[in-house]
Amino acid sequence: MSYILKGKTNNWEIVVGLEVHCQIISNAKVFSGSSAKFGGVPNSHVSFIDAAFPGMLPHLNKECLYQSIRTGMGLNSKINLYSRFDRKNYFYGDLPQGYQITQLFYPIVGEGYIDITLEDGTKKRLRVERLHLEQDAGKSIHDRAPHLSFVDLNRSGVGLMEIVGMPDISSPEEAGAYLRKLRSIVRALGTCDGNMDEGSMRCDANVSIRPVGDKNLRNRVEIKNLNSVKFVMQAIELEAHRQLAIYEEGGHVTQETRLFDSIKMETRTMRSKENALDYRYFPDPDLPPVLLTQEEVDEIRRTLPELPEDRKNRFIKEYHLNEYDADILSGDNKTAEYFETVAKGRDTDKAAHWVMGDLFGALNKLGKSIEQSPVSPSNLGKLLDLMAKDVISGKIAKEVFELMLETGKDADIIVEEKGLKQITDTSEIEGMIDTIIAENPETVSEYKAGKTKLLGWFVGQAMKASKGKANPGLLNQLLTKKLG
């Protein structure tokens, strides 16, 4: 989907590359045996290695390495049989060593790609430059006391995968689709939980603009620590318009790092842009290179679960869904499981419609995830069964669904308790129709004179008389017959 910024003299396009930090799911940290579990009492998950006590040597957690390899495979990337760790040197209060162990020169994962599908059906392949394994820093806390900052090292040394995307993204929507797809991949693989609100998945966006048709890249601005898909999309749009205003006034965009303020809806300067020389990278002398065999890599590949792209293609083939619906329903493990339970043995279009429409809408209002849904997938399936058997109409089903959300009761129990079964008795419906016809002779005459659109009015009256319980198909058939 094209996204063009219209200036006074030029039309401009956005160029975006995303750097995503994914916290690795593992019991222990990447270079120590401390717990990698989220939360906990501050500084309770800290070893001598995490706190950088003198003489403490790091030891690579193989599970973190294997999780990185699995993720690389999910990104259709090359797995490098040789990789190495480097030290990135800088000082900060929550970085006890004074350096971060990372992989600058020889990462574990090389080039790959992610395929996205936008809402209008547009497809695009977005390239991944690399994935490297590194350790997280601790957390600085500035809101506990007016003149003091505190440091919690529980997160220090937790394994991170930094996934560096190429500058292929050209709209906020594409950025959102990329992040959602990436999150669905790591969740399907079980390598990261993707919870951006907890900081286990964080994003930096590199944003620049250029005149449409120009192939040269201009100075980019890095927006740091974006913690939701929505904020990433908003920050990109705001920064692009800020740069547009500068260029249109004949100015120059400074390469720098900025922060996004979601309250004031602006980006603001954090620091001037560093380059690799500022960090004095050099090979870590305490960690040997990682040497893999192709056999080891192939064995890891055999353990991979069904990936979102494969599941999407299966949903298209097996459930006859369109590509966009299949993409949404297959993107998350829990959503896919929920949908498949609802769809099994039922009309798959209706199953998709109810899951993506009524269920997603209700969960959004309630602020709940699909795992927390008050309506179980089997119960939603029962609701669809009641409609398929003409026990209730589609309109009544909406009412039943609301009661299911409120009470958690089964659909059939609610229908029975509330007396919501459809009226399918021909004589009962005919009696209602006869009464309406007898009470409205002028309207009947108008209908017979050619105003056939009045049929809808008669249907409305009959539905009102039956309290919405008359079978719509039977009602229309009998009305048409009675009115001649």
Nearest alpha-carbon partner for 76 in 109, 27, 102 = 109
Residues 38 and 177 in one domain: yes
**CB atoms near residue 329 (< 10 Å):** 23
* 450 or 87, greater pLDDT: 87
Residues 222 and 314 in one domain: no
Mean pLDDT for the chain?
A: 90
pLDDT on residue 129? 97
**Residue length, the chain?**
484
pLDDT on residue 389? 86
Residues 19 and 162 in one domain: yes
Residues 194 and 122 in one domain: yes
Flag whether pLDDT at 468 surpasses 80: no
pLDDT on residue 16? 97
Q: Write out pLDDT tens, residues 401-427.
A: 999 999 989 998 998 888 777 666 677
Nearest alpha-carbon partner for 384 in 362, 363, 355 = 355
CB of 255 closer than 8 Å to CB of 226: no
Residues 332 and 285 in one domain: no
Look at the block and give the residue holding tokens 């996004």.
260
Residues 241 and 317 in one domain: no
Residues 412 and 357 in one domain: yes
Residues 236 and 334 in one domain: no
Q: In the chain, what percentage of residues exceed pLDDT 90?
A: 67
Look at the block and give the residue holding tokens 């600085």.
140
Q: Write out pLDDT tens, residues 6-43.
A: 888 789 999 999 999 999 999 999 999 999 998 889 99
The count of C-alpha atoms lying within 13 angstroms of the C-alpha of 225, restricted to the half-sphere facing its C-beta, is: 10
Q: Write out pLDDT tens, residues 139-186.
A: 888 888 888 999 999 999 999 999 999 999 999 999 999 999 999 999
Residues 441 and 396 in one domain: no
Band of pLDDT at residue 443, cut at 50, 70 and 90: confident
Residues 291 and 432 in one domain: no
Last residue of one domain, picked from the residues 389, 418, 447: 418
Flag whether pLDDT at 1 surpasses 60: no
Last residue of one domain, picked from the residues 235, 265, 299: 299
Q: Write out pLDDT tens, residues 245-260.
A: 999 998 999 999 999 9
Flag whether pLDDT at 211 surpasses 60: yes
Q: Please provide the DSSP assignment of 129-181 as one string.
A: EEEEEEE---EEEEEEETTEEEEE-TTTT-EEEEEEEPS-B-SHHHHHHHHHH
**Structural domain range at position 366:** 305-418
pLDDT on residue 355? 96
**How many structural domains are present in the chain?**
3
Q: Write out pLDDT tens, residues 274-333.
A: 555 588 999 999 999 999 999 999 999 999 999 999 999 999 999 999 988 998 999 888
- Using DSSP, how many helices (H) and how many strands (E) does the chain show? 16, 16
Strands in 191-313 per DSSP E: 201-211, 221-226, 256-261, 266-272, 282-283, 290-291
Residues 286 and 385 in one domain: no
Over range 465-469, report the average pLDDT.
Answer: 71
| Burial letters 32-41, b for 16+ CB under 10 A, else e | bebbbeeeee
Q: Write out pLDDT tens, residues 91-139.
A: 888 999 999 999 999 999 999 999 998 888 889 999 999 999 999 999 8
Residues 443 and 394 in one domain: no
Q: In the chain, what percentage of residues exceed pLDDT 70?
A: 96
Over range 357-366, report the average pLDDT.
Answer: 94
Last residue of one domain, picked from the residues 233, 267, 299: 299
Could you tell me the CATH number of the domain that includes residue 468? 1.10.10.410
Band of pLDDT at residue 273, cut at 50, 70 and 90: low
Over range 343-370, report the average pLDDT.
Answer: 94
Look at the block and give the residue holding tokens 């995968």.
161
**CB atoms near residue 386 (< 10 Å):** 21
